[in-house]
Structure 1
C-alpha cells in the first residue's frame, strides 16, 4: 500500500501541546495495561510518524473495542480524529513529557496489509522536545525584538503558561487566558498525579447532607462530573461546602484544579471509575464560558420490562413518564436520622411500570402533576418480596430532559400510553391485576411450590381460599411516627418506647399482622399478611380492628370468622425456615386481590396445552 503516507514529524507538535487536525500515524505496538471487573480494558500504544515515535499514548475507553475485535493491530495506520494531551510529573516536578489520549480514530490501513514499520523513527525524548521549545522561544524573542511579533506571540499555541497567568485564570470567571491543552482527562487521573486541571460538565449535584457522631459534626455535598473520556465523583466537606456549593450548577462546565484523588467508595457511587476526588483548601473551581465539546450526560436506557429479569443491586439507566406520584413520607432511620422519601410510578413503551424512590430535597421539590418524563442515570435495582423497584438516591435525575428519547416517550404517552389499562407494575400488582403473571411471580399451586424444594426464596401467585384467620395477636401496638411501623415496648407507666426512633410516646397506633391458613385444590399453607392487605380482606382499618378487639373481643372474633372461605389471588414469597430443628415453609402474602378470571382462564388453558400437547391451528396454519 504505497499510497499510505504518515504525517512526517507531527508527533513533535502534538507532544509540545499544539492542536493539529487529522494526523496520520502508525501503531507499532499495542499493549493491554489494565483489566478489572468495574472498568474496561486499557491499552498503551507505541506510535510513529515516520520520523519520531512515542510510547506515551493511550486509547480512550470508547475506542478500545477496535482492539478487542481485531480491527486495530500492530503496524496499522490510523488517522487521529480527536485527542487530548496532558503534562505528567516526574518525582513531583513537571517536565516536558505529555500523555496522548486518543478519543476518536479511523483506520486507514490494517496491520496485516502494511506488515512492516514505515520509515526509520527515533524515540521522541523529553530532551528533544525541550530543545525544540527552546529554539521556538528564541525565534519568537527574536521576532519580538524586531518589533513584529506581538500578535504572533499572542496567537502561538506554544505560549508558556506562567504561574501568574494560571493563577489568574483559576481565580476569575474569565477563561480567555486559560490554555485548554493544560487540561487533564478524567480517564488518566490517578493518586500519583497531584497536579491536574479538569474541564468537566456537572451531571448531578446532591443536596447538602449533615452528620453527627463521636468525632464531631459536619456537612458534605457531592457532584458527578464527566468529560469525553469518563466520569468521576467529587465530594466537598465543611468549608468546601460553603465555598463551592452555591456556585456549582448542574449541566454547566467548569475548570477544576486541586484536590485529593483516592479510591472510590462503591457503596456511595455507581460511576464507572475506580477513583473519586475530595475537594480541599487548594481546590479552585472556575466556570468555563467558552465554546467546548465536553459531552452532555449520556444514557444507555433499559426498558422497564427488562428490569424484572435483572439481578438486584444492578445499576441501570431508566427513562419513563411519571404516571403517579405519592405523598412525601417523613420517617427516622434505624440510627434515628430523619429521612424524607417519595414514591413515584414510571411507565414506558414496554407497557410496564416501576416504582422509583426519590429522597431528601429532590423528593420534597418533585411535582408530578404534569406527568413529566424522568430520566435516571445509574439507578439501583432493589428487590423486596419478589418485587423490583429502583432508587435514585445518588443518581443524576433529569426532569423532561432535552434528549430524543424523552420527546419520543412524551409523544407515545400523550397519544397512546395514557389510555392503556393493562400496564403491568413490576413493583407490585398491575392496574388491572394481571401483574400476577409477571416473570418473577408466576401463578402456581401449593403442590407446585412445595415441589420446587425451595432453599432460598420463591415468589409466586396463588388462587386460594381462606380456611382460618387467627384472631389472637391479630394486631399490635405500633409507633405513631409517620412511616414507622415498629412494635412499641410498653414501659409500664402508660408510655411506650420505639427502639427504631429512639423516642418515648404516650400513645400508639394499632397495626394488623394476621396469620391465616389458605388452601387450594392441591394443598394448604399458613401465611403472614401485613396491614395493607389484611385491611382489604377484613374490610376494616387496623385502628378499627384494634379498638374492636380491645373493647369487645368476642364480637370482633366472630366478625373475623365471617371472612373465612373467601377466595383471593395472593401474591406471595416463600422460603425455608427452621423451627425446633424442623424445616418448614414460611410464606408471606404481600398482595391480596379479587380473582382476575382472565388470568385464571389463561393459566388453565396453558396447563391443558402443556399436559395434552394439543395445539389448534387456524386456516392459515397459525397455532393458538
Structure 2
C-alpha cells in the first residue's frame, strides 16, 4: 500500500474553484456497474461510490469507462483511499442523497491509491431519524433509519416499463417511536436470503428516500445507499432493547397506508366535538366510535391546586394465552396483583386532555396510545423529567395547538353508583394526513355548492 501524505484537502471545501486537490476518504457505499449509450451513440459504463473523510465531509463520486477498468475492483466498501485528478460538477439531486453541493467524476486521468486504514474516519456518517418524525417531514425527504424488521415479503423479479430487469423486496421497519413504515429494497439488497430478515433483526439504512404513496408514506433504498444488519451502534441497541422489553406487543402507527402490519387507526364516524358533547349527554346511547380532526389544547396537570399524576407504572410481563403485556398498575415495589409477582415495568400515560376544533372543546380521558400520539412523546420521556415538575409541564405545553390531530373517540354506556351515564374516551390520536384531509374538505365544499 502507498504511504499516506501528511495533508489532504477537506471534502466539505471542494468546489469548482478548487485546483490540484487530493482527498483521503473511506468508501462508505458502492453501486453496481451500469452501462449506457452516450450522445454520439458510443457505449459507456459507470459506477458510483460515496466517500467520507476524517472531518465528516461526504461526497458522491462517479467513475466512468477507463476509471471503471482501473479501479472497479480496487474500490471496496470500508477501505480508505486517496483520490485526485477528478472533476467537480453541481450535484444532481435526483441521484445524490448527500448534502454536498458538488459531486466528483473520474475518468482516464483519475488517480486512486489504497492507503492504510485511518481510524479517524468513521465507518459511516449517520443522522438517525425516528419514524414518528418522518410523518411530519416535507416530502420527498432523505432520512437515515434504524428499526426492527417486523415483517417482510419475498423478493420479486420483474421487468420495468423501459425493459430493465429489476428485483425488489418490501420490508416493514418499526422503531421505539411506536411507528412503522414500509421500505423497498432493490437489487442485491433485495436478493439477500430470507433468513437475513427473519427473527426481527435491527437494520440501519442510510439515505432512504421517502415519498407519498397512496394515502401514506413509503421509503425506497437507492442503489448507492448503505444497509447494515444488526450493527453495533447505540441507536441499534436502543431499538433492540425497546423491542425485547415490550415493543413487539405494542400497537404501531403505520405511516404506509397499505403496510402489511397492524397499527392503523380505528375507523370511526366523522364528527366534530359538538357532536361528542351531545353524545356524552345521552345516557342511553349504544356504543359508537367517532373520528374528529382537532388540536390538543390543554393537559390537566393540576386539579384544585394539587399536582395530578400523568402516568402510572404498569406490568410488562406477558399474559398467558395471548402473549400481550399485562399493562396493569403495579404498586410502589413493582408487584403486580394480577400476575402475583414483580417483573418488568414501564410507565404508561393516563391523561385528561382538552381537545379543541372550530366549533367546540371537550375534556377526554386519554389513554396511553392516544396520549403518545397527542403529545408526540413517550411516557418514559416524561418520567425522566419527574424530578423537575416545571420542565415536565413545559414539555407538555410544547404540544399545545401544534399539528392537527385525527383522534378516535369511543362513547359507550356505563354505570356509576347505580346511575347510567356515557363513558367517552380518546382511544387513538395521530397527525392528520394533510393531503387526504384536504381532499375531504374539497369534497365537502363541492357537495355544499351542488346542494345550494
| TM-score tier after normalising by the smaller chain length | 0.5 to 0.7
- Ranges of 4+ aligned residues in structure 1 off by more than 6 Å: 614-617
The structure whose residues are more often helix, as a share, is: 1
Residue 14 (structure 2) aligns with: 189
Shift of residue 362, structure 1, vs aligned partner: 1.7
The correspondence of residues 201-350 of structure 1 with structure 2, limited to 5 A, is 201-212=26-37, 215-227=41-53, 228-289=55-116, 291-350=118-177
Mapped partners of 1:333, 1:353: distance in 2: 28
CA contact (8 A) 1:232 1:276 kept: yes
Residue 402 (structure 2) aligns with: none
Shift of residue 603, structure 1, vs aligned partner: 2.9
In structure 2, the CA distance between the partners of 1:444 and 1:337, relative to structure 1 (3 Å rule), is farther
Residue ranges of structure 1 left out of the alignment (5+ in a row): 1-172, 449-460, 464-599, 607-613, 618-624
Residue 411 of structure 2 aligns to a residue whose secondary structure is helix
Mapped partners of 1:284, 1:213: distance in 2: 24
Mapped partners of 1:447, 1:213: distance in 2: 60
CA contact (8 A) 2:58 2:100 kept: yes
In structure 2, the CA distance between the partners of 1:604 and 1:298, relative to structure 1 (3 Å rule), is same
Mapped partners of 2:182, 2:261: distance in 1: 17
Residue 388 (structure 1) aligns with: 217
CA contact (8 A) 1:421 1:431 kept: no
CA contact (8 A) 1:324 1:345 kept: yes
Q: Which string of whole-angstrom CA distances, capped at 9 and with x for unpartnered residues, describes residues 269-301 of structure 1? A: 011111111112221222221554123322221
Mapped partners of 1:223, 1:370: distance in 2: 31
Which region of structure 1 is more displaced relative to structure 2, 353-362 or 189-198?
189-198
Q: Does 1:424 align with 2:253?
A: yes
Q: Does 1:180 align with 2:180?
A: no
Q: Does 1:373 align with 2:202?
A: yes
CA contact (8 A) 1:422 1:432 kept: no
Which region of structure 1 is more displaced relative to structure 2, 279-288 or 393-402?
393-402
Residue 435 of structure 1 aligns to a residue whose secondary structure is coil
Mapped partners of 1:296, 1:204: distance in 2: 10
CA contact (8 A) 2:30 2:50 kept: yes
Q: Which string of whole-angstrom CA distances, capped at 9 and with x for unpartnered residues, describes residues 58-107 of structure 1? A: xxxxxxxxxxxxxxxxxxxxxxxxxxxxxxxxxxxxxxxxxxxxxxxxxx
Given candidates 409, 413, 418, the residue that maps to 1:603 is 409
Residue 51 (structure 1) aligns with: none
Q: Give the RMSD, CA atoms, in angstroms.
A: 3.2
Mapped partners of 1:432, 1:322: distance in 2: 11
Higher relative contact order (CA 8 A, sep 6+): 2
Report how many aligned residue pairs link the two structures.
282
Larger CA Rg, structure 1 vs 2: 1
Shift of residue 433, structure 1, vs aligned partner: 5.3
In structure 2, the CA distance between the partners of 1:434 and 1:416, relative to structure 1 (3 Å rule), is closer
Residue 130 (structure 1) aligns with: none
Shift of residue 434, structure 1, vs aligned partner: 4.7
Shift of residue 391, structure 1, vs aligned partner: 1.0
In structure 2, the CA distance between the partners of 1:605 and 1:299, relative to structure 1 (3 Å rule), is farther
Mapped partners of 1:248, 1:284: distance in 2: 12
Mapped partners of 2:153, 2:251: distance in 1: 21
Q: Which string of whole-angstrom CA distances, capped at 9 and with x for unpartnered residues, describes residues 532-561 of structure 1? A: xxxxxxxxxxxxxxxxxxxxxxxxxxxxxx
CA contact (8 A) 1:429 1:435 kept: no
Mapped partners of 2:272, 2:161: distance in 1: 39
Mapped partners of 1:321, 1:433: distance in 2: 14
CA contact (8 A) 1:425 1:431 kept: no
The correspondence of residues 81-100 of structure 1 with structure 2, limited to 5 A, is none
Shift of residue 421, structure 1, vs aligned partner: 4.9
The correspondence of residues 441-520 of structure 1 with structure 2, limited to 5 A, is 443=268, 445=270
Given candidates 157, 176, 198, the residue that maps to 2:23 is 198
Mapped partners of 1:305, 1:321: distance in 2: 14
Given candidates 410, 429, 432, the residue that maps to 2:240 is 410
Mapped partners of 1:265, 1:601: distance in 2: 41
Residue 343 (structure 2) aligns with: none
